Amino acid sequence: MSEKIKGLVFFIIEVAVISVILYFVKGKLEASHHRDVSVYLPMLIDIAFLALFATFGGRMAKAFGIAPMAGKIIMGIIAGPALLGVLHPDSPGVELARLTGVLFILFEAGLHFDMELLKKNIGIATAVAFGGVLIPLISFAALGHYVIHLEWIEAIFLGGIFTATSVGLSVEALKRAGKLETNLGNQIVGAAVIDDILGVIILTILSKLSSTGAGAEHVAEGGMNPFVALAIGVIVFLVATYVLWTMGVADKIAQYLNKQYSKSATGIFTRFFFGMLVLGSSLAAILGLEPVLGAFGIGVVLSKVDNEIKHEAWEKIEGYMHIFVGGFLVSIGTMLPRAALIDTKVWLWAILFTVIGFVGKYLVKYLFKDKKEGKLVGLAMSIRGEVGLVFVAVALANHALNETMASAALLAVILVTVLGAILFEKEVMKQVAAEKVQT
């Protein structure tokens, strides 16, 4: 028996054993009459098993020579409702892991983000972001209205699903390749963040429009127009991030903590960083923005903290961060329903959406003179993920898409994410290897 076949057999046995254990233990916990046992332990066991499935996904990816991110998403499809059904996307533990994972990812991206470098790249980053939003938005909206015969709001919802790039997944791939803190990495992260802000604005506007007269009623009662409130929220977020970063507020707080506490409590910076992550995410949510943008913003603010302190704090946080990051990747796969796997119509639409969705983002490569850089940026921007999934969830909640279109869009988001992750990571590694040969 070859090593690959042997490894596959062991992989199947491991997944089967872990799935049976999870199914049995969680069922028993939920049947308990004690609140701590029936509510909180199932959440913790979901998080623990998400991390285990992420490990299996990484091993599977290595065996088949695909990107680890893609392997973990595929593992989520296997463990989720589509196949085994031992993990459910709406379980509190899975939702908590998904949110926490993406917050950690965006927080790390902010910590390593170079604002001075962004100033130099702001033109190209903005051009890439706007191109990456407008091309898929217009193409999918036209497809939805003129070919699928959806109403304009529904068609634009369909387009909105494919507008935003997954900053989290792009950051993970850049980090693995050692490109996160480079000029190219800064361009990609900058474009993806602007991209996400635009995506969140589009999502908010569409959800307001699809809520029958909610915005108008709110204004009639004397409340602020929701679109004005959103615009104010975005401006406050951007200005506050830049001002706090410019003033070096985080470094001043860190110096105070270093003077007052570091001799007696070496973990004070870890707690400070974690507290700021949660606070920044919460403040963004209060402003009507996505919490992930708050996580990124507070990461940028904290990037000015003394490097030694930053390194020490992040080294400790990284120890448990991977549990949630792996869980986030697996949780994306769990969002695919079983019906989507057996419906031919869903698959046909999903394949078409995947092709259009991939090409729509990849076209931004032509904004670059350097073909290698342009190819990497195009592939990075093609990776969807959390924001696209949020769009699908909001579309379903507002009955903006029927079940077939929603399932096809969800499947396409997963397919284009896996495809983009595989192609991006392979291209990055190829270019890194070529650079090593040259040096």
Tell me which of 33 and 219 has the higher pLDDT.
33
- CA distances from residue 295 to 107, 283, 301, 317 in whole angstroms, order as listed: 5, 10, 10, 14
* Average per-residue pLDDT for the chain: 82
Mean pLDDT confidence for 417-429: 81
- Examine the domain organization and report whether 156 and 74 are in the same domain: no
- Examine the domain organization and report whether 39 and 155 are in the same domain: no
**CATH number (domain holding residue 372):** 1.20.1530.20
Question: Residue 85 falls within a domain, yes or no?
Answer: no
pLDDT at 44: 92
**Domain tally for the chain?**
2
- Examine the domain organization and report whether 57 and 177 are in the same domain: no
- Examine the domain organization and report whether 357 and 407 are in the same domain: yes
Banded pLDDT at 410 (limits 50, 70, 90): confident
**What 3-state class would DSSP assign to 179?**
coil
Does position 220 have pLDDT exceeding 60, yes or no?
A: no
Which residue shows structure tokens 């995410």? 281
Cα–Cα distance for residue pair 170/117, rounded to 1 Å: 18
What percentage of the chain has pLDDT greater than the value 70? 89
Range scoring the smallest mean pLDDT among 84-88, 160-164, 272-276? 160-164
Instruction: Tell me the two tokens of residue 382.
Output: 């093609």
Question: Residue 50 falls within a domain, yes or no?
Answer: yes
Segment 122-170, tens digit of pLDDT: 888 888 888 888 999 999 999 999 999 988 888 888 888 888 777 667 7
Mean pLDDT confidence for 261-286: 83
- Examine the domain organization and report whether 293 and 178 are in the same domain: yes
- Examine the domain organization and report whether 310 and 228 are in the same domain: yes
Question: Residue 86 falls within a domain, yes or no?
Answer: no
| Last residue within a domain, chosen from 45, 79, 113 | 79
pTM of the model: 0.75
Dihedral in degrees, nearest 10, Cα atoms 93, 405, 67, 78: 50
- Examine the domain organization and report whether 15 and 138 are in the same domain: no
- Examine the domain organization and report whether 65 and 96 are in the same domain: no
pLDDT at 139: 93
Question: Residue 209 falls within a domain, yes or no?
Answer: yes
- Examine the domain organization and report whether 62 and 118 are in the same domain: no
| Last residue within a domain, chosen from 50, 79, 108 | 79
Banded pLDDT at 423 (limits 50, 70, 90): confident
Cα–Cα distance for residue pair 59/421, rounded to 1 Å: 16
Cα–Cα distance for residue pair 338/354, rounded to 1 Å: 19
Question: Residue 131 falls within a domain, yes or no?
Answer: yes
pLDDT at 179: 74
Cα–Cα distance for residue pair 192/420, rounded to 1 Å: 14
Question: Residue 229 falls within a domain, yes or no?
Answer: yes
Q: How many helical (H) and strand (E) elements, i.e. helices and strands, does the chain have?
A: 20, 0
| Last residue within a domain, chosen from 27, 53, 79 | 79
Question: Residue 87 falls within a domain, yes or no?
Answer: no
- Examine the domain organization and report whether 52 and 145 are in the same domain: no
Q: Which domain holds residue 43?
A: 3-79
